[in-house]
Structure 1
Amino acid sequence: MKHFDAIIIGSGQAGVPLAKKLAQAGKKTAIIEKNNIGGTCINVGCTPTKAMVACARAVYQARKANELGVEIGQIKVNLKKIKGRKDEIVNSFRNGAQKGLETTKGLKIIFGEARFSAPKEITVTAQDGTEEKLTADWIFIDTGAKTVIPEVDGLESVDYLTSTSILDLEEIPEHLVVLGGNYIGLEFGQMFRRFGSKVTIIEKSKRIMSREDEDISDELSEILKGEGIDILTETHIAHIESEKKNHLIIDVKSGTKSDKIICSHVLIATGRAPQTEKLGLDLAGIKTDEKGYIVVNKKLETNVDGVFALGDVKGGPAFTHIAYNDYTIVYRNLIEKTNYSISNRPVPYCMFTDPQLGRIGLSENEAKEKGIKYKVAKLPMSQVARGIETNETLGVMKAIVDPDTKKILGASILAPEGGEIMSVLQLAIEGGITYDRIRYCVFAHPTYSESLNNLFMKIED
């Protein structure tokens, strides 16, 4: 039985840098990966999807070019070439991550599936079926999450797509039905609509992006509908089956109304669940919640001393940057003897529809629920000089502020480069810069961030 100072299970955006830093700190370290180095983000998440989103935006911009007096002519989309470009980027990132691990002294990569066989003991099963047992003083679980497949009558008998398998398509779907109206479903829905597919989004809630403020959700819904996407809300799939002509027949219900949709492809984007069922957590005495997420404290340690969980597998905000921050907290606390926790850390995020939706801090709904006194600043992108100049006038900037302290409580930026504009406000929040200072701050002209002047001028003091 081999003993290590530290074992990391999973090579995602927390696992890879943690393994390298622990080894560099003199710890004998092993990282175990059952598939590809890099986790969801590099292989089937952020990297490939944003590469393809860029291609879809190029198609959209080409179609809009005539509005700017640029005549392009016929536009052709080569999905096979788009996939090839995406694959090259993914392979480059993955190989770079793997090389970084391989060249780190004191770090061993083990390919295989890991499970606990006793407290602080890991059994790794290689692809050839051979097993080896490992022990460690510290164990870090970074196994991420996977697509939730909903219980839909007939779904098991059809060839549905997930956010992973849709990345391998080489032909544009004739009609793509997306089950789920949140980040993943909306990004893919808009992408394939721009590639040329007919797209229908089915959402069981009253509106898409139900966690966002209603006005933001409605604004984005109108933008997507303007591109020709059908959005069916308060709707669910009652039954699905294959038709002989390589088509799917979907029975949908909305209240008392029923209808049929005939499509070529269906994408499941109804949520994600933690990859914990094969870890043997019960043998290690590690607690999970009712959904299977590993329970951790504010310093990311489980109920078992020396065992930690990082990234999506522990629940909470499921974002790459949160997983990376998890690594920095654990590493600094263990090696540098700091006292960091996950309490009160900022949780920014950006959905890469076009326009992007960048979010930080409280939404208006959350401020209401907390009973916080607030004021709202809103500025439509149609009033933003940079947007008018670049023909990018869809969306809205929205911020929530405390009228007494003048602190910025949160922002929803549905705009071109919405994530970048949001980041400006995040820094203001982090630095305690009040909205009245931003109102008269000198920004470079003409930039999108300059319109934060006008955004906060909407508030009457």
Structure 2
Amino acid sequence: MDQKEGFEPFKSLDNLSKEDGSSEDFDLVILGSGEGSKYVAWTLARDGQRVAVIEREYIGGSCPNIACLPSKNIIHSAKVVSYLTRSEEFGIRKENVKTDMTVIRDRKRKMVDGLVQIHVENFRRSGTELIMGTGRFVGPKTLEVHGHDGSVRRIRGTDVIIGTGTHATLDPIPGLLEATPLTHIEALELDVVPGHLLVMGGGYIGLELAQAMRRFGSRVTIIERNERLVHREDLDVSEGVTELFIEEGISLVLNATVTSVAGKSGELVQLVVEHEGVSKAFEGTHLLVATGRTPNTAGIGLDLAGVEVTERGYIKVNERLETTAPGVWAIGECAGSPQFTHIAFDDFRVIRDNLAGGNHVTTDRQVPFCMFTDPEVARIGLSEREAEAKNIPYRLVKIPMASVLRTRTLSETRGFMKALIDVESDRILGFTAFGTSAGEVMASVQIAMIGGLPYTVLRDAVLTHPTLIEGLIILFSTTPTPQNAVSTSA
């Protein structure tokens, strides 16, 4: 869905071109309207500064349009399907369960449209000038904007923020581009259930969408280049997710490399894969590529602005999110920040404070995450693998989710919770949960970690019964097991 349709920019670009080549001056110019960018814009504009935001397509950025929120909308529809599939387990008889992808898609579209209008209103009320068009640097802190109506503006900011985000990486595999594969954007716009979806990638995006499409009725095969799914996490997490996907009927091809692609996604597509020293062919109707992200930094004139990038194309920034050009900042994923919306929001706070004369840095901040498979995987702080790598001794507590009585009332007992505890201070070093509403449970532990509280505070807390959070009492009442950072197996 093209978000430009039906949208009228607040200020027409007509008659705003500078025929003499001079620039319009702003206190702040922002390229991209994503999570961090929009909050900086709204905040400073409300404080009376003249702020312009240049947005090529998605008002409010990827999260409300093509990423976090629409994907969770689709995933929730898949959850409803799973309940219907299991309905007899809950004493509810059913006839045939049929998925109508057009209704699922339209529900998602309706939500996105509402979110876009909220953003439109926020830009208007804040006094931010939202310019719909394509921006490119033509000099230090100066951008030329080609509006969607064909007009041109040159604008300059006392400060400039680059927030152009990332896009799905398409590796240089023979035939891949010609196959016109799905990325997460197109996958969220499907109006049919794929007959057989081939998924390249066993990370967050690939796994979330693979499970959803399987529940909608698609046959699904995941091809992952690493030896296990979510390979950066502890082995027990990978094993739990792998077991879940196998039980749901998803085929896994691990430690495999795609060498060529033929055909066209949406019709018939064939992948040739090197797997355990043998070349194998896989055929499907659709191909989803979820193998990583590439920063949107090419072709926007960064060299003319004096802004340097890394070897991978991310903008070079210091801990204050300043680029190599004075008065130019970078925010969110294009700056190499962890690729989460909540981190982009924290980037906003860093830049906001520094523009006001502060010294807010990104160093050593917490990075919580949640993968929205069903059940979820969530972690804050150290994993066991990271503790091993850093040679940090710890005590481990771990319980199955089935020990939390609320999971039994929900018939959602799969998974576990575990925590790493400092051997001297009793503070929580890390927490991982694989289970229903894992992200919500993690947040409570994170708050304790922010406060520097010992695990005994959660152990001795009075928490409501029966809730999932109550499981923290059970977890932290377990006798901690000393772990040697060298010999621990997880």
Normalising by structure 1, what TM-score?
A: 0.97
**Structure 1 position 24 matched with structure 2 position 46:** yes
| Shift, 1:306, TM fit | 1.1
Answer with 171-180 or 160-169: which moved more. Answer: 160-169
**SS in structure 2 of the partner of residue 429 of structure 1:** helix
Specify whether residues 244 and 91 from structure 1 end up closer, same or farther in structure 2 by C-alpha distance, changes over 3 A only. Answer: closer
Confirm or deny that 1:314 pairs with 2:346.
Answer: no
Deviations 1:288-311 (A, max 9, x none): 110010111111111212111011
Q: 2:254 aligns with which of 233, 238, 250?
A: 233
- In structure 2, the CA distance between the partners of 1:244 and 1:460, relative to structure 1 (3 Å rule), is closer
Matched, 1:166 2:187: yes
C-alpha distance in 1 between matches for 2:177 and 2:410:
46
1:422 to 439, 442, 450: 442
Map 1:200-279 to 2 at 5 A.
Answer: 200-242=221-263, 246-279=267-300
Matched, 1:92 2:114: yes
- Would you say 1:458 and 2:475 are equivalent positions? no
Where does residue 12 of structure 1 map in the other structure? 34
Q: Percent identity?
A: 37
The alignment partner of 2:78 has SS state of: helix
Alpha-carbon separation, structure 2, partners of 1:238 and 1:391: 42
In structure 2, the residue matched to 1:139 is: 160
Aligned to 1:42: 64
* Aligned partners of 2:184 and 2:205 also within 8 Å: yes
d(CA) in 2 for partners of 1:303 and 1:442?
A: 51
Structure 2 contact 396–480 (Cα < 8 Å) conserved: no
Distance 2:134 2:198 in 1: 34
Partner residue of 1:443? 463
Taking a change above 3 Å as real, the CA distance of residues 243 and 88 of structure 1, as seen in their structure-2 partners, is: closer
1:152 to 167, 170, 173: 173
Q: Establish whether residue 358 from structure 1 lines up as the match of residue 384 from structure 2.
A: no
Give the whole-Å Cα distance in 1 for the aligned partners of 2:264 and 2:73: 33
Partner of 2:25: 3
Q: Which runs of 5+ in 1 are unaligned?
A: none
How far apart are residue 103 of structure 1 and its match?
Answer: 2.7
Residues in 2 aligned to 1:55 and 1:234: alpha-carbon distance in whole angstroms:
31
Distance in 1, Cα, partners of 2:373 & 2:385: 22
Task: Give the superposition deviation at 1:242.
Answer: 1.5
Q: Partners of 2:382 and 2:229 in 1: how far apart?
A: 19
Does residue 186 in structure 1 map to residue 207 in structure 2? Answer: yes
Cα-to-partner distance string for 1:164-213 (whole Å, 9 max, x where unaligned): 11111100000001000000000000000000000111100010111111
| Alpha-carbon distance, 1:244 to partner | 12
Please list, as runs of the form range in 1=range in 2, the aligned pairs for 1:67-146 lying within 5 A after superposition: 67-105=89-127, 107-146=128-167
- Equivalent runs, 1:289-304 vs 2, <5 Å: 289-304=310-325
Instruction: Write the distance in 1 (CA, Å) between the matches of 2:181 and 2:296.
Output: 21
Rounded to whole Å, the distance in 2 between the matches of 1:447 and 1:424 is 13
Query: Partner residue of 2:397?
Result: 377
Question: Are residues 243 and 315 of structure 1, via their aligned partners in 2, closer, same or farther at CA, if it must alter by over 3 Å?
Answer: closer
User: C-alpha separation between the residues in 1 aligned to 2:295 and 2:281?
Assistant: 33
Quote the offset at 1:278 in angstroms: 1.8
| 8 Å contact from structure 1 (residues 79, 171) kept in 2 | yes
Counterpart code for 2:243: E
Query: Aligned partners of 2:223 and 2:415: how far apart in 1?
Result: 22
Deviation of the 1:20 alpha carbon:
1.1
Structure 2 CA distance for aligned equivalents of residues 24 and 121 of structure 1: 23
The CA distance in 1 between the partners of 2:204 and 2:462, in whole Å, is 34
Instruction: Supply the AA of the counterpart residue of 1:370.
Output: K
Q: What SS does the corresponding residue of 1:168 show, helix, strand or coil?
A: coil
The range that moved more, 450-459 or 301-310, is 450-459
Residue 326 of structure 1 deviates from its aligned partner by: 0.8
> Could you list the per-position Cα deviations for residues 214-240 of structure 1 after superposition, in whole angstroms to 9, with x for gaps in the alignment?
111111111111111111110111222
User: Take 2:150 and 2:297, find their aligned partners in 1: how far apart are those partners?
Assistant: 20
Partner of 1:33: 55
In the alignment, is the contact (CA less than 8 A) between 1:375 and 1:459 conserved in 2? no
Aligned-partner SS, 1:299: coil
Q: Structure 1 residue runs of 4+, over 6 Å off? A: none
Quick one: distance in 2 between partners of 1:365 and 1:415?
20
Q: Please give the per-residue CA displacement for 1:366-415, whole angstroms capped at 9, x wherever unaligned.
A: 11111111122111112221111210011111211112211101111111
Deviations 1:333-367 (A, max 9, x none): 323x4332111211111111000111111111111
CA distance in 2, matches of 1:231, 1:279: 39
Query: TM-score if structure 2 supplies the norm length?
Result: 0.91
2:93 aligned with 1:65, yes or no? no
Aligned residues: 459
1:305 paired to 2:326: yes
- What amino acid is the match of 2:186? S
SS in 2 for 1:406: coil
Q: Which residue of 1 aligns with 2:423?
A: 403
Which sections of structure 2, spanning at least 5 residues, go unmatched?
A: 1-22, 482-490
Does residue 329 in structure 1 map to residue 366 in structure 2?
Answer: no
Distance 1:460 1:410 in 2: 14
Please give the secondary structure, in 1, of the residue aligned with 2:274.
strand
- For residues 460 and 409 of structure 1, what CA distance do their matches in structure 2 show? 13
